[in-house]
């Protein structure tokens, strides 16, 4: 698979937008098929441009992106820069399909490629075929490597919630994350799976304390630099922050947790039920609480739907957070 180019050389992006289960998303009624845009001054092509352009052209919120091909913009003059071609996964911003400025249509990649070929755009048709194939060939390792690249965006953020992947205000963060604390009904240990800079650990402890609960927070995270940041921010918890991959990680010394929170959209769609079973069997105490956050659309696009599909009985839900007991 093609690797990412040197960021300083990228001038433009062309993305095929896809849903977690594989269908493509295009603008309906003859609007743009692919999401294309230029890298603006001061932007990083992946961390800034990809997200901005997909929102602008299709109202589509990107969760992940992979490079499929890279082309010189001016083949005669290599100094002109590069155009990156790739596929992005994610969903319509806000979830709605029809009540939006850019009405969207979803369709399988082979139908989209056939449509483009029939309209005479052979190059775009070939790109859709290649991007869809690259997307189908993704592995757990690709998903982890892709997630690791976003670390840089978290590390450069200026607020503690920004360093945990929330680009809004504190109020946005609280609205999004308080349901995790609301799902905890007993004092005990809490593990944040994919804890970034550790801010949710702190917030869950404080929000639970408001209800008289004593929560002892722990964290694990894929990105070593984020774990280093979390340890630096929270030196009192340095020995309860671990680097690992949530798909395989098990706590040291036979530790188990009374509750944990996870965002399964970090892994491939077909691996999410397995991830939840792993966390139940290797990480939670028997009868422990599994709290799931899902930001995505798709067939199991709500946390409750994913829990049910994975064989759990949903004990409660609030917005994009749902929980079950193991």
- The residues that touch ligand SAM, with contacts defined as CB under 6 A, are 144, 147, 151, 164-165, 177, 192, 194-196, 200, 221-223, 226, 245-247, 263, 266, 293
Please report how close the Cβ of residue 126 comes to ligand SAM at its closest, in angstroms. Answer: 31
Contact 192, 217 (CB under 8 A): yes
Nearest to ligand SAM of 59, 198 (CB atom)? 198
Instruction: Provide the token pair at 241.
Output: 């922050």
Please report how close the Cβ of residue 303 comes to ligand SAM at its closest, in angstroms. Answer: 12
Q: Where are the alpha helices (DSSP H) in the chain?
A: 51-58, 109-118, 122-136, 140-149, 151-156, 170-182, 199-209, 224-233, 272-282, 303-309
Nearest to ligand SAM of 92, 165 (CB atom)? 165
Nearest to ligand SAM of 223, 298 (CB atom)? 223
Nearest to 1 by CA among 148, 145, 112: 145
Please report how close the Cβ of residue 231 comes to ligand SAM at its closest, in angstroms. Answer: 14
Nearest to ligand SAM of 82, 196 (CB atom)? 196
Nearest to 48 by CA among 7, 16, 19: 7
Residue 158 per-residue DSSP state: S
Please identify the residue of the shown chain whose CB is closest to the bound ligand SAM: 194
Please report how close the Cβ of residue 141 comes to ligand SAM at its closest, in angstroms. Answer: 10
Please report how close the Cβ of residue 11 comes to ligand SAM at its closest, in angstroms. Answer: 28
Please report how close the Cβ of residue 307 comes to ligand SAM at its closest, in angstroms. Answer: 16
Nearest to ligand SAM of 12, 165 (CB atom)? 165
Please report how close the Cβ of residue 110 comes to ligand SAM at its closest, in angstroms. Answer: 30
Nearest to ligand SAM of 83, 293 (CB atom)? 293
Nearest to ligand SAM of 124, 195 (CB atom)? 195
Please report how close the Cβ of residue 218 comes to ligand SAM at its closest, in angstroms. Answer: 12
**Strands laid side by side in the 241-243 sheet:** 241-243, 215-221, 188-193, 257-262, 284-293, 321-325, 314-318
Instruction: Provide the token pair at 255.
Output: 């530790």
CA distance 39 to 28: 25
CA distances from 73 to 9, 82, 86, 294 (A): 10, 5, 15, 38
Nearest to 48 by CA among 92, 13, 95, 74: 13
Q: What is the 3-state secondary structure (H, E, C) of 99-146?
A: CCCCCEEEECHHHHHHHHHHCCCHHHHHHHHHHHHHHHCCCHHHHHHH
CA distance 223 to 147: 9
Nearest to ligand SAM of 152, 315 (CB atom)? 152
């Amino acid at each position: 698979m093609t690797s990412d180019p040197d960021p300083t050389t990228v001038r433009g992006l062309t993305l095929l937008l896809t849903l977690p289960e594989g269908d493509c998303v295009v603008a309906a009624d003859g609007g743009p098929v692919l999401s294309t845009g230029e890298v603006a001054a001061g932007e990083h092509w992946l961390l800034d441009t990809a997200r901005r352009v997909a929102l602008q052209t299709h109202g589509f919120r990107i969760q992940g992106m992979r490079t499929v091909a890279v082309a010189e913009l001016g083949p005669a003059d290599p100094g002109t820069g590069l155009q990156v071609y790739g596929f992005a996964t994610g969903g319509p911003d806000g979830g709605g399909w029809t009540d939006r400025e850019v009405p969207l249509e979803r369709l399988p990649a082979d139908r989209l490629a056939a449509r483009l070929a029939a309209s005479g755009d052979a190059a775009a048709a070939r790109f859709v075929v290649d991007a869809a194939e690259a997307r189908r060939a993704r592995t757990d390792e690709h998903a982890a490597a892709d997630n690791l690249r976003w670390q840089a965006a978290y590390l450069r953020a200026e607020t503690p919630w920004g360093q945990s992947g929330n680009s809004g205000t504190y109020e946005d963060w609280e609205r999004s994350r308080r349901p995790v604390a609301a799902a905890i009904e007993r004092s005990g240990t809490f593990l944040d799976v994919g804890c970034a800079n550790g801010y949710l650990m702190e917030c869950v402890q404080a929000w639970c304390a408001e209800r008289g609960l004593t929560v002892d927070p722990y964290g694990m995270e894929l990105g070593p630099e984020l774990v280093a940041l979390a340890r630096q921010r929270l030196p009192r918890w340095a020995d309860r922050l671990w680097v690992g991959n949530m798909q395989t990680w098990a706590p040291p010394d036979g530790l188990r947790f009374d509750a944990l929170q996870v965002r399964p959209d970090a892994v491939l769609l077909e691996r999410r039920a397995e991830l939840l079973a792993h966390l139940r069997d290797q990480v939670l105490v028997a009868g422990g609480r599994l709290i799931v956050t899902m930001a995505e659309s798709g067939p199991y696009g709500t946390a409750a739907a994913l829990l049910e599909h994975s064989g759990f009985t949903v004990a409660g839900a609030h917005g994009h957070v749902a929980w079950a007991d193991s």
